[in-house]
A and B are shown apart, each in its own frame.
Chain A
Amino acid sequence: MHEAASSQDRLNDFAIKLANVNGTGSASANALLMKSMFRMGIPVMGKNYFPSNIQGLPTWYEIRVSGDGYVARSGRIDLMVAMNAETYARDVKEVSPGGYLIYDSSWPRPALLTRDDITILGVPLARMCNETFEGVRSRILLKNIMYAGVLAALLNIELDLMRSMLGESYANKKSLLEANVRALEIGHNYALAHFTCPLNLRVARLNKTTGHIMIDGNTAAGLGCMYAGATVGAWYPITPSTSLMDSFKSFCQKWRVDPQTGKQNYVIVQAEDELSAIGAVIGASWNGARAFTPTSGPGISLMNEFIGLAYYAEIPAVIFDIQRVGPSTGMPTRTQQCDLLLAAYASHGDTKHVLLFPNSPEECFYTAIQAFDLAERLQTPVFVMSDLDIGMNDWMCPALQWDDAYQPDRGKVLSAEQIAKLDKFQRYLDKDGDAITYRTLPGVHPKGAYFTRGSGHNQFGGYTEDSTEYQVVLDRLRRKFDTAKTLVPAAVMTGRGNQSVGIVSIGSCDGAVREAIDILKRRGIQVDYLRLRAFPFGKEVEDFLASHSTLFVVEQNRDAQLRSLLTLETAVDKKKLRSILHYSGLPMSADVIVTGLVAELGVVPVRSVV
């Protein structure tokens, strides 16, 4: 019998990590564990650290249980399930002092790989599987469900709940259901018989997940595309954006097929490369369909030429950049926010683009809809800057809501009647003074015809090599970017707004920043926080930057790209901006921010300005 040495009670507040081999079916067991705690009303977060590989390389899944509802990584591992012999040594090392390690004791474990400051629990998972089940593949798969049973006993997860969840998964496969339930129970019973259950790490029912869902950002964004009324999706498969188009496709297969004719009210183009994917989006948007492409950094690099065309010829396009670690191929299955400058100024010549920064799967859904409205209103490419952490991990979010009164903003598109009344259609003439001009669609009216080109053009849509005519259009495009400032979602300020220290951050840093702010508060350090939701930056961003004497820019890249963007595009004094950077490829945890900020504040006195 091994018993926990730690006296600290960790009710509904701990992190577990499951070390597996890619392709062995561990994902369903890990999802079962997480989802069962979620259904017990306890806030959870799951992060998948997977290799760029189909089968055989190490993969980890981390579940944070947080009664307080924190969504970032905790930075500690209280319980490790070490199922991968290859990574066993590093997995043992990673357990926080006082924590637990569970391993498969069917085979002897190297004596060297032990620690005095953690509790090591052996379970003969493979042996019990081999004794109970037939077939190599099912033994491998059921070993995972078996450790889920072990954890259910150790952590006090309700076994009945897990049984019923297995029932949902295998509703039509009775023999599979029986085998899974059996594996679950064997694991559970073994733990009850051999260990003191539950551990000091344990869960107990809460009611904090009512009205919530567990969803990943790509699924939510694909759903958002359907709700936005997108009818053309073009893409080239690339990790970690692929599941966004998978999501759009599966929702459309369910909801966009005409029940009478069986015909599809959507078109998906799997293009030959990202150049073609963005070309198809531009062609479709030019022709009046809502069109989008999901991609990642390498895809944006390839799309640059076309993005410039869409900017200059003023064609809507929605681009989802599910950022991954660069440069070059980088680490395709790891997360970063490293495409900010690439996207903001994509393509040659003077170009600037609208960027949106969702902080969660929930915002991926709503931001997707905003992106189409903005792209059509502004007649320009709009980037949704998600990342792998948001895109591919299951996050707990409030259930998504829909307002049936919503109507898409199709922007300034002239109808046949409007065109007929015109003396002459002038494509790039700023009639309304907001720097947004009127466009026409092919097939509507012969008087609406114009020639779209990426070469120099005047405000009437004609070809030009005249300096003045060229500049009139280029200057209006700059003014249009000012109009964009008034249309994009405003930054969100948290705090009293009167502190001397402010944090500025974006996207998936948000969970870690909010947790860090709570930790700092407990240490007596008050900070204000501005979460940017879009580029270009609005007045509220200028105001926040001006009213704080010390600013920490928290972001996930090496080169402080957000800080660069702020110095380039606002009036902020560069010296006020300090960086807290995290670019390991793993999602950010609060301690990075707390440590970075406290170290810097050692020389900056903290005081309230009031």
Chain B
Amino acid sequence: MSFMTKPKVAHPGLPRNQLGLTRRDYEGGMSTLCAGCGHDSVTAAIIEATWGLSLRPEQLVKLSGIGCSSKTTAYFVSGAHGFNSVHGRMPSIATGAIAANSQLYYIGVSGDGDTLSIGFGQFAHAIRRNINMLYILENNGVYGLTKGQFSASADVGSKAKKGEANQQPPIDAVQTALTLGCTFVARSFSGDKAQLVPLIKAGMMHKGFALIDVLSPCVTFNDHEGSTKSYEFVRDHYDAVVHADFVPPANEITTEYGAGEVVPVTLHDGNRIVLHKLDPDYDPTNRGKAINYLRDKQAHGEYVTGLIYMDSKSLDFHDVNATGSTPMNQLPFAKLTPGAQGLAKIMERYR
């Protein structure tokens, strides 16, 4: 349970990042999720990515809504402030928090119930505002805490544990995000750490709203035969299209992936994301083609994964607002009011 504490014993030989911190310094409380839950793998990937980026723990803000996935913000980076808000409304909390301080890293963790049902509107509008955050959707097609109802991402024909088949068409978070103008859209699988960790790093460093839809099977309610969100089904219908690596400016670009073309993308702060196109015909900077590609693959029952679309030059929420560089929560009070003299001037208009 999240109020349990893990023993903090760090082996002196553990590797350290640029801040001198080990992976243990990026852990959180003990997970209370079921053994084998995909979400715990995502948590591990977040720990790996934030450690790898050498983020100062207090520079990270963790946000979530309600549900199994939303609990996980308590399970990583305990040195970061966390906010477990209300069901489906994390994007508005994130909007306000980001409005108040543009200089922190924001990571939101949500589920398919949280994002695609009760919070669908907030999800859509956070994308429209292009708030600077990484939004991880831990997608398992099912409501876990209320014991196994279909979620809005369940595929037609996918079977519930008791055999009932879903009849309503699914909402595809990736296609939705693409049509809403999302500036970083990725899909991954909790079981593919090699793909997920670099995506998380890239998403953290992207300026604007980065969505990673992570297929994250529910071992208790949706991992059986007939489910399209089971470990087995996802592994069998997995089509990685673009692998992304995050590369800080000082580092040399090296590729460990054999096939495909390599395209470096420079971010606003000089960091780079290196895209390895596993399908040479795929263009991750063309929104329209990405949507068509996804639809074609979907018709064949394939989950396209990897970095599906990225726009590294978009204006984020603060750019559009023309916000000053000093965070709103740090502006000295003297800068915020025109004082008695100003008020006297203002009063003239009302005489």
Return the chain A residue nearest B81 by Cβ: A442
**A451-B84 CB under 8 A given contacts A258-B324, A283-B100, A442-B101:** yes
Return the chain A residue nearest B349 by Cβ: A213
Contact stretch, chosen from B10-18, B86-94, B176-184: B86-94
Instruction: Give chain B residues whose Cβ lies under 8 Å from the Cβ of A442.
Output: 58, 61, 80-81, 97, 101, 104
| B114: min CB distance to chain A, Å | 13
Q: How far is the CA of A403 from the CA of B325 in the complex (A)?
A: 29
| B194 interfacial by beta-carbon distance below 8 Å | no
Interface size on B, residues (CB 8 A): 62
Asked if A272 and B122 sit within 8 Å, CB to CB, the answer is yes
Instruction: Give chain B residues whose Cβ lies under 8 Å from the Cβ of A277.
Output: 92
Asked if A452 and B329 sit within 8 Å, CB to CB, the answer is no
Map CB proximity to A onto B124-140 as digits: 1 under 8 Å, 0 otherwise: 11000100000000000
Q: How far is the CA of A280 from the CA of B83 in the complex (A)?
A: 13
Instruction: Give chain A residues whose Cβ lies under 8 Å from the Cβ of B323.
Output: 263-264, 267
Q: How far is the CA of A289 from the CA of B100 in the complex (A)?
A: 5
Instruction: Give chain B residues whose Cβ lies under 8 Å from the Cβ of A279.
Output: 85, 89, 91-93, 95-96, 122
Map CB proximity to A onto B90-125 as digits: 1 under 8 Å, 0 otherwise: 011111111111011000000000000000011011
Q: How far is the CA of A278 from the CA of B96 in the complex (A)?
A: 9
Asked if A263 and B325 sit within 8 Å, CB to CB, the answer is yes
| B79 interfacial by beta-carbon distance below 8 Å | yes
Instruction: Give chain A residues whose Cβ lies under 8 Å from the Cβ of B82.
Output: 449-453
Map CB proximity to B onto A536-557 as digits: 1 under 8 Å, 0 otherwise: 0000000000000000000000
Asked if B97 and A261 sit within 8 Å, CB to CB, the answer is no
Map CB proximity to A onto B309-349 as digits: 1 under 8 Å, 0 otherwise: 00000000010011111101111010111111011001100
| B77: min CB distance to chain A, Å | 8
Chain A, interface residues (CB within 8 Å), range = 35 or more
| A167 interfacial by beta-carbon distance below 8 Å | no
Considering the complex, which residues of chain B in the window 30-75 have a beta carbon less than 8 Å from any beta carbon of chain A?
56-59, 61, 73-74
Q: How far is the CA of A149 from the CA of B342 in the complex (A)?
A: 35
Q: How far is the CA of A276 from the CA of B90 in the complex (A)?
A: 9
| A234 interfacial by beta-carbon distance below 8 Å | yes
**A234-B96 CB under 8 A given contacts A267-B328, A443-B104, A446-B56:** yes
Q: Please report the number of residue pairs spanning A and B whose Cβ atoms sit closer than 8 angstroms.
A: 225
| A359: min CB distance to chain B, Å | 18
In the complex, which of the residues B2, B80, B93 contacts A286, with contact meaning CB atoms closer than 8 Å? B93
Return the chain A residue nearest B326 by Cβ: A265
Return the chain A residue nearest B2 by Cβ: A463
| A133 interfacial by beta-carbon distance below 8 Å | no
Q: How far is the CA of A462 from the CA of B1 in the complex (A)?
A: 11
Instruction: Give chain A residues whose Cβ lies under 8 Å from the Cβ of B104.
Output: 442-443
| A155 interfacial by beta-carbon distance below 8 Å | no
In the complex, which of the residues A263, A269, A286, A449 contacts B79, with contact meaning CB atoms closer than 8 Å? A449
Q: How far is the CA of A226 from the CA of B340 in the complex (A)?
A: 13
| B285 interfacial by beta-carbon distance below 8 Å | no
Map CB proximity to B onto A490-525 as digits: 1 under 8 Å, 0 otherwise: 000000000000000000000000000000000000
| B351: min CB distance to chain A, Å | 6
Return the chain A residue nearest B58 by Cβ: A446
Q: How far is the CA of A281 from the CA of B337 in the complex (A)?
A: 20
Asked if A399 and B321 sit within 8 Å, CB to CB, the answer is no
Q: How far is the CA of A226 from the CA of B351 in the complex (A)?
A: 20
Return the chain B residue nearest A257 by Cβ: B322
**A399-B3 CB under 8 A given contacts A271-B92, A283-B94, A451-B82:** no
Q: How far is the CA of A403 from the CA of B335 in the complex (A)?
A: 15
| A441 interfacial by beta-carbon distance below 8 Å | yes
Instruction: Give chain B residues whose Cβ lies under 8 Å from the Cβ of A402.
Output: 337, 339-340, 342-343
Instruction: Give chain B residues whose Cβ lies under 8 Å from the Cβ of A463.
Output: 1-3, 74
**A231-B79 CB under 8 A given contacts A273-B121, A446-B56:** no
Asked if A407 and B58 sit within 8 Å, CB to CB, the answer is no
Q: How far is the CA of A263 from the CA of B321 in the complex (A)?
A: 9
Q: How far is the CA of A227 from the CA of B335 in the complex (A)?
A: 10
Return the chain B residue nearest A317 by Cβ: B96
Instruction: Give chain B residues whose Cβ lies under 8 Å from the Cβ of A266.
Output: 328
The CB with the most chain A CB atoms within 10 A, among B85, B93, B333, is that of B93
| A291 interfacial by beta-carbon distance below 8 Å | yes
| B96: min CB distance to chain A, Å | 3
Instruction: Give chain A residues whose Cβ lies under 8 Å from the Cβ of B318.
Output: 267
Q: How far is the CA of A407 from the CA of B104 in the complex (A)?
A: 27
**A449-B78 CB under 8 A given contacts A214-B350, A306-B86:** yes
Considering the complex, which residues of chain A in the window 213-250 have a beta carbon less than 8 Å from any beta carbon of chain B?
213-215, 223, 226-227, 229, 231-232, 234
Q: Name the 4 nearest CB pairs between A and B, nearest first.
A: A279-B92, A283-B96, A280-B96, A289-B100
Sample of 4 more A-B contacts, CB < 8 Å, known A255-B337, A283-B98: A212-B351, A213-B351, A402-B339, A451-B73
Jot down 9 A-B pairs with beta carbons below 8 A, ordered by A: A229-B337, A279-B95, A286-B96, A289-B100, A399-B351, A400-B343, A402-B339, A444-B58, A451-B2
